[in-house]
Amino acid sequence: MRKFIFAIMLLQFSTQLAAENESTAQLEEQAKHLSSQLAMQLKARLKNAIETGGPAHAITACNVSAPQIAEELSKGGWEVGRTSLKLRNPANNPDEWERSTLLEFEQQLASGTPAANLHTSAVEADEGVTRYRFMKAIPVGGVCMACHGEAISEDVQSALAEKYPQDAATDYKPGDLRGAFTITKILSEDR
């Protein structure tokens, strides 16, 4: 009899585990979708702004639209944003988990992992709040150089100095890790 109960318990436990695994896979699917949405919308807005008025004008456009696009995508309990170890906008400051993930991404990139494969997820419980968290690396590409590279034109420099007096997000080279998309969903809150 005991053995039988134990077997049932084991069965329940493994179904529970399977359900949790499945929902984590679903969460990861949604988080990936949100980060590619954010990437696509930012790129489209950036391209459009550069074509209309050049990179200096695009700084003003990014200043307003980047936080706005992130906010628009933050629906249904999801929170969507970007972060980096070298910040332009101080509001994108990484927390502890984001900082250590960014450092891991840098190490993995340096040891040859392609940037496209760098993503990670975790379930975190902190002060009664359980969160699903996901991060995906953002590599520097050629288009980024006008505003994040080593040789930045004077008009871009002065537009940056005006909007971001503490800007640290320059001197990047193509292939560097610029930062990461960071996506969070609160799973439960017991308070």
Please give the residue ranges that form the binding site for ligand HEC (CB under 6 A): 46, 50, 55, 58-59, 62-63, 66-67, 82, 84, 87-89, 92, 138, 140-141, 143-144, 146-148, 169, 178-179
Nearer to ligand HEC, 27 or 42 (CB): 42
Q: CA-to-CA distance for 45 and 33, rounded, in angstroms?
A: 18
Dist CA 88 CA 65 (whole Å): 14
Minimal distance, residue 26 CB to ligand HEC, in Å: 26
| One-character DSSP codes across 138-190 | EE--GGGHHHHSSS--HHHHHHHHHH-TT----S--TTSEEEEEEEEEEEEE-
Provide the minimum distance between the beta carbon of 34 and ligand HEC in the complex, in angstroms, as a whole number: 15
Q: Compare residues 24 and 108 and give the one whose CB is closer to ligand HEC.
A: 108
77 class by beta-carbon count within 10 Å (0-12 exposed, 13-18 middle, 19+ buried):
exposed
Q: Which is nearer to ligand HEC, 37 or 130 (CB)?
A: 37
CB 144, min distance to ligand HEC, A:
3
Closest distance of CB 188 from ligand HEC, Å: 29
Pairwise CA distance, residues 72 & 34, whole Å: 11
* Cβ-based nearer residue to ligand HEC, 166 or 188: 166
